[in-house]
Amino acid sequence: MYTVDSVNQSGLLQVSPIHQMYWEDCGNPDGKPVIFLHGGPGGGSSPATRGFFNPQKYRIIQIDQRGCGKSLPHACVEDNDTWKLVADIEALREHLGIDQWMVFGGSWGSTLSLAYAETHPERVTELVLRGIFLFRQFESDWLYKRGGASQIFPEAWAAFENFIPEAERGDLIAAYNHLLFGKDVDATTKIQAARHWCEYEEKIVFLHPQTPRDDDPHALAISSMENHYFINHGWIDAETDLLKNIDKIRHIPTIIVQGRYDICTPIQSAYDLKQAFPEADLRVVIGGHSAFDAEVNKGLVAATDAFAQR
């Protein structure tokens, strides 16, 4: 990892009548442009995520997607979907006067990276992807139905499921949607639901246990945004299926770093992407889902170092 403490410029870009997207520009102003797309949905960028890139080689662009991080309004799901985020990325590229850039994204960020690249392939020089998630039904079921991650983290699953009344446990995404967005739900219950959603996710994301974040605004943003995207199937349909549209980007040099023991986004999706996209370089490492797991982190930095030479 590199250390990138300073920001050259930053701002809020008005991307809709409702939303302003936070962006920042770090590293070498004359370096190779790269945009970092964070996970979630609902996560955000941070000084730590700048560290995947050599600041002497790269002009590092980070954003907080609609409703996330420093973007305004916070945790807002209105006028917020995958294809609006793709349009936001392109609007920022034009705003900054960048002709082409490398795209880096992990987890949900890998979904968004592929969606952007397939929409604007002429603007993408390379892709670095981690923890592949393609918004297929089995991937959602793995996370939010019995039989997937629940079998590997049964204690985390029990806490997540038991917060919901037994009669509503057949569809946990819908049950949590009501608790997070229902007008008849009080603020305390919404916070409790947000915390349960996030604590389950945090348990399955890290190879080594971490202390959960005690941060209600963060929990609300993550839980609200993720639930909003999952209940709408990520706005990915037969026409926009990421694997079916892979021919649009097969010419783009691509490195995929995948943790063998990733419980959040299991390796099957990375394997399926590799089968559809044999030109991509799939690098399987001994790690989990987090980009900060030691071997995953090492693999990502090696990928950006390699592409810095192009």
pLDDT for res 206: 86
Longest dimension (CA), the chain: 58
Residue whose C-alpha is closest to residue 109's, from 131, 125, 124, 87: 131
| Residue 107 among the catalytic residues | yes
Measure Cα distances from 181 to 187, 194, 197, 223, 227 in Å: 10, 11, 14, 11, 10
Least confident of 11-20, 106-115, 198-207, 263-272: 198-207
Q: In this structure, what CATH number is given to the domain that contains residue 287?
A: 3.40.50.1820
Q: Which two tokens stand for residue 263?
A: 């419980």
In a domain, 257, yes or no: yes
Looking at the fold, whether 79 and 227 belong to one and the same domain comes out as: no
Q: Evaluate if residue 310 carries a pLDDT over 90.
A: no
In a domain, 304, yes or no: yes
Looking at the fold, whether 47 and 182 belong to one and the same domain comes out as: no
Q: Evaluate if residue 147 carries a pLDDT over 80.
A: yes
Looking at the fold, whether 163 and 189 belong to one and the same domain comes out as: yes
Looking at the fold, whether 226 and 287 belong to one and the same domain comes out as: no
| Residue 272 among the catalytic residues | no
Which domain, by its residues, includes 57? 9-135+235-308
68 touches 222 (CB < 8 A): no
| Residue 262 among the catalytic residues | yes
Looking at the fold, whether 116 and 214 belong to one and the same domain comes out as: no
In a domain, 3, yes or no: no
Residue whose C-alpha is closest to residue 62's, from 18, 104, 2, 107: 104
Residues 6 or more apart in contact with residue 147 via CB below 8 angstroms: 141
Q: Give the chain's domain count.
A: 2
Looking at the fold, whether 81 and 192 belong to one and the same domain comes out as: no
Q: Which two tokens stand for residue 269?
A: 């999706």
Q: Which two tokens stand for residue 120?
A: 């604007």
The H or E element that residue 20 is part of is: strand 20-27
Annotated catalytic residue, options 25, 64, 262, 293? 262
d(CA 244, CA 265): 20
Which pLDDT band holds residue 210 (cuts at 50, 70, 90)? Answer: confident
Looking at the fold, whether 193 and 266 belong to one and the same domain comes out as: no
Looking at the fold, whether 27 and 14 belong to one and the same domain comes out as: yes
Annotated catalytic residue, options 45, 107, 140, 223? 107
Looking at the fold, whether 120 and 213 belong to one and the same domain comes out as: no
- Among 212, 234, 256, identify where a domain stops: 234
Which pLDDT band holds residue 214 (cuts at 50, 70, 90)? Answer: low
In a domain, 177, yes or no: yes
d(CA 195, CA 180): 11
Which pLDDT band holds residue 117 (cuts at 50, 70, 90)? Answer: very high
pLDDT tens digit string along 45-80? 999 999 999 999 999 999 999 999 999 999 999 999
Annotated catalytic residue, options 19, 120, 196, 289? 289
The model's pTM = 0.96
In a domain, 1, yes or no: no
Mean pLDDT of all residues belonging to the chain: 96
131: left (phi over 0), alpha (psi -120 to 50) or beta: left
Q: Evaluate if residue 2 carries a pLDDT over 90.
A: yes
Residue whose C-alpha is closest to residue 78's, from 62, 66, 86: 66
Q: Evaluate if residue 212 carries a pLDDT over 80.
A: no
In a domain, 83, yes or no: yes
pLDDT for res 213: 65
pLDDT tens digit string along 154-170? 999 999 999 999 999 99
In a domain, 2, yes or no: no
Looking at the fold, whether 78 and 212 belong to one and the same domain comes out as: no
Looking at the fold, whether 120 and 242 belong to one and the same domain comes out as: yes
- Among 209, 234, 259, identify where a domain stops: 234
In a domain, 106, yes or no: yes
Rg (CA), the chain: 19
- Among 188, 211, 234, identify where a domain stops: 234
pLDDT for res 215: 78
Q: Which two tokens stand for residue 33?
A: 């442009």
pLDDT tens digit string along 80-102? 999 999 999 999 999 999 999 99
pLDDT for res 189: 96
pLDDT tens digit string along 237-290? 999 999 999 999 999 999 999 999 999 999 999 999 999 999 999 999 999 999
Looking at the fold, whether 97 and 113 belong to one and the same domain comes out as: yes
Q: Evaluate if residue 209 carries a pLDDT over 80.
A: no
pLDDT for res 252: 98
